[in-house]
Amino acid sequence: MAKITGKILRPDILIPHDSTDSHSPSKIILQLGGNLGDVKKTFSDVVSALSEEVGKIIKTGSFYKSKAWGFESDDAFTNQVIELETSLLPHDLLHLTQKIEKRFGREKKTVDGYESRPVDIDILFYGDSSIETPDLTIPHKLMTERRFVLEPLREFWSEKKHPRLMKTVKELYESCPDSSEIIKEE
């Protein structure tokens, strides 16, 4: 079993040591998802906003199409994974990504469960941190059950390890219970 050490910000948040500076930049991986409107244009605008407000873009993955997960919709979803470097702390990152979602058309949920939306921003990884609070879980708590998350992640991050499960993205993909078809757009 791997031992995780780090700075404790609160008892439920462990940030592994990257340096002696508690606000040194961390590499984060986000997933954009959406199925309403001109999704690729929205994603382009969101990536620009993230670059200006969150941090430096390191990599942007390809676009992937999939059917809705967890609800019925006639509109297919587009997903894209991006890696950034940020000095924001995890909860600050969450609040800022939620503001960006709203700015680009995300509305407050009107039903219990999932629904169509122009954009959703999920925090998949924050460095090698493991965070579990009532309003934030990193790595994303459902990523291991969602092929539409793991397939785009495999593009550049197949060897990235899940800090709690200690399995790579590739291993998580191979054991994923979701058999949905995911199509990489050329």
What is the domain partition of the chain in residue ranges? 25-141
Q: Which of 109, 138, 107, 111 lies closest to 122 in space, CA to CA? A: 138
Topology of 25-141 in CATH? Alpha-Beta Plaits (3.30.70)
In this prediction, what percent of the chain has a pLDDT beyond 90? 70
Identify the band that residue 7 occupies on the pLDDT scale cut at 50, 70 and 90. very low
Identify the band that residue 112 occupies on the pLDDT scale cut at 50, 70 and 90. low
The pTM of this model reads: 0.84
The mean pLDDT of the chain is 85
Contact between 116 and 129 (Cβ < 8 Å) = no
Which residue stretches of 116-163 are H helix?
A: 147-157
Contact between 82 and 61 (Cβ < 8 Å) = yes
d(CA 161, CA 169): 6
CA 8 to chain centre: 23
d(CA 146, CA 180): 8
Residue 170, pLDDT score: 97
